[in-house]
Amino acid sequence: MSFLSIPRELRLVIYDQYFAEHRHVPPSRIQPYNDHIRLLRVCRLIAREAAPLFRSYISLRNEHQITAFLCNASSRDLDQIVYADVANDSRVYETDVPHSGRSIQAFATRRPVSNLHLVLHRHHLPAMISLLRSVRLRFEPAMFPGTAPALLSLYELYVDPETRSDLFQVVSPHELQSLRISGHCQVPGGLDVPALRHLTLHNPVTNDFDIRDIHKTFVGCQLESFAHAFSERLAFELRDKHLPSIVTLGPHLRKLVLLGCSRLSSDAITSCIAQLPCLEYLALSIYTAFTGQLGGNFIEALPNTIQTMKLAMTVNRKFLPSYMQVPSYTRIEQQVRDTFESRLLRRSPAPNALFIFLDTLDEDISRRWTTVAADRGIRLRIGRWDDEEEI
């Protein structure tokens, strides 16, 4: 059976699925190519069916593609584009020059090196005024060099720890609904973010959240999801003192993801979870060299609303005294296993999905859990999952 012989309704579903996967930023953080446009050249039928969807997205990976887009894109092409991934060069010509007639006061003139701002301007975002002499890195002004604030509902940074960005120089935080912070960044305090519902901190290299509480940085929001990942040595890492801020930001939080945590105690996690009565999704990856931080009591604190629970616990026993290695960790794992089975696997009503990784889990327990999960219609995964959790 060929692709064109299947019903049109199924082909449309396949287009949607392919398009969603194509636009998704993979764990490698590589910007997507424009391979989806090539599919429109396969045949006229696919072009007719998929063009409205596929032409709504463009990926400009370098300055050559940006220039080609500006030179060749028609008004019709621009009208169809809803999503754009555009590489940000970040370099800005900038110098202080005295204004004619004003010898005392100087003003800064700047112009981005990249033509990225022209692509954004085509979509009716602020234009730029002025010129040029020295080159500096200015992350936001390279995208929005105008004086009016850029109004965005979604602002997500997928950058490595060495990439520096000063946030909210130009972008207004007031309308933001989703914010993802990564890279070497500075975040001003007291941001008024009444519309913010989703906040992700992915290895941000900053001490801003140690200087002031997270809830004093993002003011006035009611979060529905919060995610934090720590895997870079110099990045900000959550500690016990930060968890109350999460509750303050989102007392009705539905999704909580904490990956690579090595400085959170079981008591602090328990206290946090107990204050989140609407929690539906919890992904928790703990890595520690101190067994006294761990325990299974936080599973007892989970609300009945929980539908997906992902847990990974790893203890680096190399750094433990020999007398603690076997008895302490064995007791903790036993507590976690018992609580996981009684509180989640056999709960009524049954949750949708359970993922668990422990350093030691014998085959008899794995087989029993697999049987119980199959009988109760629960998606169960035993083994490492945290490397695949994308935030």
The pLDDT tens digits for 244-275 are 999 999 999 999 999 999 888 888 999 999 99
Q: What CA–CA distance (Å, rounded) separates 140 from 159? A: 13
Q: Give me the pLDDT at residue 223, please.
A: 97
- Average pLDDT over every residue of 71-92: 74
Give how far Cα 219 sits from Cα of 122, 224, 249, Å. 33, 15, 8
Beta bridge partners of 157: none
The yes-or-no verdict on residue 28 having pLDDT over 70 is no
- Average pLDDT over every residue of 340-369: 92
Cα-based torsion angle of the residue sequence 61, 66, 67, 71 in order, rounded to the nearest 10 degrees: 130
The yes-or-no verdict on residue 113 having pLDDT over 70 is no
Query: Which among 308, 23, 254, 17 is positioned nearest to 156, based on CA atoms?
Result: 23
Q: Give me the pLDDT at residue 135, please.
A: 34
Separation of CA 72 from chain center: 33
Cβ contact 223:253 at 8 Å: yes
Q: Hey, what are 386's tokens?
A: 């945290």
Q: Give me the pLDDT at residue 351, please.
A: 96
Reported confidence tier of residue 326, pLDDT bands at 50, 70, 90: low
**How are beta strands 102-112 and 91-99 bridged, if at all?**
antiparallel
Name the one residue in this structure whose structure tokens are 């972008």: 171
Q: Give me the pLDDT at residue 284, please.
A: 96
The yes-or-no verdict on residue 102 having pLDDT over 60 is no
Of residues 184 and 113, more confidence is placed in: 184
Q: Pick the range with the lowest mean pLDDT from 33-42, 67-76, 209-218, 316-325.
A: 316-325
Name the one residue in this structure whose structure tokens are 């007719």: 48
Q: Hey, what are 183's tokens?
A: 């890279």
Q: If you ran DSSP here, which 8-state letter would residue 124 be given?
A: T
Q: Give me the pLDDT at residue 152, please.
A: 85
Query: Which among 247, 254, 381 is positioned nearest to 312, based on CA atoms?
Result: 381
Reported confidence tier of residue 100, pLDDT bands at 50, 70, 90: very low
Does residue 7 have a cis peptide bond before it, meaning omega lies within 30 degrees of 0?
no
Q: What CA–CA distance (Å, rounded) separates 71 from 189? A: 41
235 CB burial (10 A radius; 0-12, 13-18, 19+): buried
Q: Give me the pLDDT at residue 320, please.
A: 54
The yes-or-no verdict on residue 86 having pLDDT over 60 is yes
Half-sphere exposure of 320 (CA within 13 A, CB side): 18
- Average pLDDT over every residue of 189-213: 93
Beta bridge partners of 255: 225, 281
The yes-or-no verdict on residue 181 having pLDDT over 60 is yes
Half-sphere exposure of 273 (CA within 13 A, CB side): 27
Q: Hey, what are 32's tokens?
A: 């997507």
The yes-or-no verdict on residue 99 having pLDDT over 80 is no
- Average pLDDT over every residue of 352-364: 90
Of residues 234 and 381, more confidence is placed in: 381
Concatenating the DSSP letter of every residue in 67-113 gives HHHHHH--HHHHHH--EEEE----EEEEEEEEETTEEEEEEEEEEES
**At CA 339, angle to CA 279 and CA 389, rounded to 5?**
50
pLDDT, tens only, 46-74:
999 999 999 888 888 877 787 888 788 78
- Average pLDDT over every residue of 323-351: 80
Q: What are phi and psi of 60, to 5 degrees?
A: -110, 105
Reported confidence tier of residue 336, pLDDT bands at 50, 70, 90: confident
Q: Give me the pLDDT at residue 105, please.
A: 38
3 state DSSP class of 350: coil
The yes-or-no verdict on residue 87 having pLDDT over 80 is no
Mean residue pLDDT across the chain: 81
Query: What are the helix (H) ranges across the chain?
Result: 8-23, 35-38, 44-54, 63-72, 75-80, 116-122, 208-211, 214-217, 243-249, 266-274, 297-300, 322-340, 363-376
Q: What CA–CA distance (Å, rounded) separates 257 from 26? A: 18
Cβ contact 136:91 at 8 Å: yes
The yes-or-no verdict on residue 318 having pLDDT over 70 is no
Percent of the chain scoring above 70 in pLDDT: 79
The yes-or-no verdict on residue 322 having pLDDT over 60 is no
Query: Which among 215, 200, 294, 285 is positioned nearest to 247, based on CA atoms?
Result: 215
Query: Which among 231, 250, 241 is positioned nearest to 386, based on CA atoms?
Result: 231
Of residues 181 and 26, more confidence is placed in: 181
